[in-house]
């Protein structure tokens, strides 16, 4: 959510932001119009309320019945006008809120302007592309051959885009989760175990509603959403709180499953486990003072990269351009790992500084140590790697000619010492 004052005082900034994101700028004018209408209505209705309050006090003090009756009658009429105006204000505010909540964050000056993901900028590539003296197989062939991945049974018990991990496959994923969480703990994050279902206000606070309702699973009976990412409950953690400056920054890490309907990407990435309706992820999250968020974004990026390095991945860091930037984000780095079987770079992490965008929606502030006015915090989020794509990279890059897969050394403690899955 953007600051209404910012939109009012600097509409061109917002228009440019929308343009750079390849979006329609007309909502800005609509907001300005509604904002003006709202303030005009408020001036009227508040004057009436002030009058009613004052006269009502007089009525309370008045002893004379006739005077009281006259005043009560007058105030009854004022009350009717207040009700009508209040209704108008509520309508205008609802419309204003609906439009404002659909405006994305303003990209950072350092976010390159571009029209689509084609114009994302590769900042750096680390490691060499692995070489094979045989034709490396994609994971959708490798996994079933090893008996650790079962697509048919996944679709049988649930439907398309669901799969079953079996035996060492399931264990490998669990090893990755434990490894990542422990690594993030060493990097200074505090582990959280969170609800996997959240209320509407929580999803709104994280910026997933109303815009992305189509992508969410919902229990309509209980009015609860299944989390699409741990970012949602991690934002909710301090919703409607005023933190102390001394508490900041807060570093959190959490493992959660993620549930996404993927209506937008129907027909895309249908092969393998790259894009499922249910997948696991370890997430990093920060609450910071505004002046620290730029620096800490780099820490979070380094922490995500450290995970890739420890697993022996060849990876590259991309800077997203305005055309591909997420709704909440001002600046985002994507980390992509090379997968030798399907021959592509897979996005395993997205590290973003959303500044005060989520904090405004979720109402998360901090009180400066000098006792000044409470200010919105900045929040940052980043995947400590999405699990399916990490699994793909391990299976495809560590495969051997006989179809077996070498387990990365750092994971072996959680694999009962198993060195090769065969």
Q: Which residues are catalytic?
A: 260, 275, 347, 350, 389
Closer to RNA by Cβ: residue 159 or 371: 371
Query: How many other CB atoms sit within 10 Å of the CB of residue 313?
Result: 25
- Residue pair 340/132 in contact (Cβ under 8 Å)? The answer is yes
Considering the complex, what minimum distance in angstroms separates the CB of residue 354 from RNA?
Answer: 19
Closer to RNA by Cβ: residue 89 or 175: 89
- Residue pair 267/243 in contact (Cβ under 8 Å)? The answer is no
Binding site for RNA (CB under 7 A): 4, 39, 42-43, 46-47, 49-50, 52-57, 59-61, 72, 75-76, 78-79, 90, 242, 365, 371, 373-374
Counting Cα atoms < 13 Å in the Cβ hemisphere of 330 gives 20
Q: In what order do the strands lie in the sheet with 218-219?
A: 197-199, 224-226, 218-219
- Residue pair 120/114 in contact (Cβ under 8 Å)? The answer is yes
- Give the rounded distance of the alpha carbon of 354 from its chain centre: 9
CA distances from 266 to 260, 270, 276 (A): 12, 8, 11
Task: Please report how the helices 26-61 and 65-100 are oriented relative to each other, as an axis angle in degrees rounded to 10.
Answer: 160
Closer to RNA by Cβ: residue 178 or 243: 243
Closer to RNA by Cβ: residue 39 or 153: 39
Name the strand (E) or helix (H) holding 11. helix 11-20
- Residue pair 418/407 in contact (Cβ under 8 Å)? The answer is yes
Considering the complex, what minimum distance in angstroms separates the CB of residue 44 from RNA?
Answer: 9
Closer to RNA by Cβ: residue 178 or 197: 197
- The CA distance from 407 to 24, in Å, is 49
Considering the complex, what minimum distance in angstroms separates the CB of residue 226 from RNA?
Answer: 17
Closer to RNA by Cβ: residue 2 or 175: 2
Closer to RNA by Cβ: residue 290 or 403: 290
Three-state DSSP state, 175: helix
CA distances from 66 to 57, 72, 79, 88 (A): 16, 10, 20, 34
Instruction: Please report the sign of the dihedral spanned by the C-alpha atoms of residue 369, residue 372, residue 374, residue 379.
Output: negative
Considering the complex, what minimum distance in angstroms separates the CB of residue 289 from RNA?
Answer: 16
The set of long-range contacts for 37-46, using a CB threshold of 8 Å and a minimum separation of 24, is 37/92, 38/89, 38/92, 38/93, 38/96, 41/85, 41/88, 41/89, 41/92, 42/89, 44/85, 45/82, 45/85, 45/86, 45/89
Closer to RNA by Cβ: residue 242 or 401: 242
Q: Are strands 190-192 and 331-339 parallel, antiparallel or unpaired?
A: unpaired
Considering the complex, what minimum distance in angstroms separates the CB of residue 199 from RNA?
Answer: 8
Considering the complex, what minimum distance in angstroms separates the CB of residue 109 from RNA?
Answer: 25
Output DSSP code: residue 215: G
């Amino acid at each position: 959510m953007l600051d209404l004052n910012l939109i009012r005082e600097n509409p061109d900034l917002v228009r440019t932001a929308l343009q750079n994101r390849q979006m329609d700028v007309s909502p800005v004018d609509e907001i300005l119009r509604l904002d003006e209408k709202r303030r005009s209505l408020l001036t009227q209705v508040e004057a009436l309320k002030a009058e009613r309050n004052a006269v009502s006090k007089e009525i309370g003090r008045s002893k004379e019945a006739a005077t009281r009756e006259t005043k009560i009658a007058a105030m009854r009429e004022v009350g009717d006008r207040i009700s009508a105006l209040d209704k108008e204000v509520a309508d205008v505010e609802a419309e204003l809120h609906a439009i404002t909540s659909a405006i994305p964050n303003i990209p950072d000056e350092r976010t390159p302007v571009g029209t689509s993901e084609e114009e994302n900028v590769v900042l750096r590539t680390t490691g060499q592309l692995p070489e094979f003296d045989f034709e490396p197989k994609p994971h959708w062939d490798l996994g079933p051959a090893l008996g650790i991945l079962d697509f048919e049974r996944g679709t049988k018990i649930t439907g398309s885009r669901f799969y079953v991990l079996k035996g060492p496959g399931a264990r490998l994923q669990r090893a990755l989760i434990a490894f990542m969480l422990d690594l993030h703990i060493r990097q200074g994050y505090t582990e959280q175990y969170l609800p996997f279902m959240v209320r509407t206000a929580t999803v709104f606070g994280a910026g997933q509603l109303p815009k992305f309702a189509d992508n969410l699973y919902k229990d309509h009976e209980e009015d609860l959403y299944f989390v699409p990412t741990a970012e949602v409950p991690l934002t909710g953690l301090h919703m409607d709180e005023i933190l102390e400056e001394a508490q900041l920054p807060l570093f959190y890490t959490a493992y959660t499953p993620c549930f996404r309907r993927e209506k937008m990407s129907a027909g895309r990435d249908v092969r393998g486990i790259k894009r499922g309706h249910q997948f696991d992820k370890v997430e990093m999250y920060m609450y910071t003072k505004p002046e620290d968020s730029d620096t800490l974004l780099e820490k979070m990026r380094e922490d995500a990269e450290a995970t890739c390095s420890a697993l022996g991945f060849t990876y590259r860091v991309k800077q997203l351009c305005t055309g591909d930037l997420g709704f909440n984000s001002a600046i985002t780095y994507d980390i992509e790992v090379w997968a030798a079987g399907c021959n592509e770079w897979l996005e395993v992490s997205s590290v973003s500084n959303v500044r005060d965008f989520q904090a405004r929606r979720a109402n998360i502030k901090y009180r400066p140590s000098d006792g000044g006015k409470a200010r919105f915090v900045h929040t940052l989020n980043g995947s400590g790697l999405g699990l399916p794509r990490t699994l793909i990279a391990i299976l495809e890059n560590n495969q051997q000619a006989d179809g077996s897969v070498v387990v990365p050394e750092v994971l072996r403690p959680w694999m009962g010492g198993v060195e090769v899955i065969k």
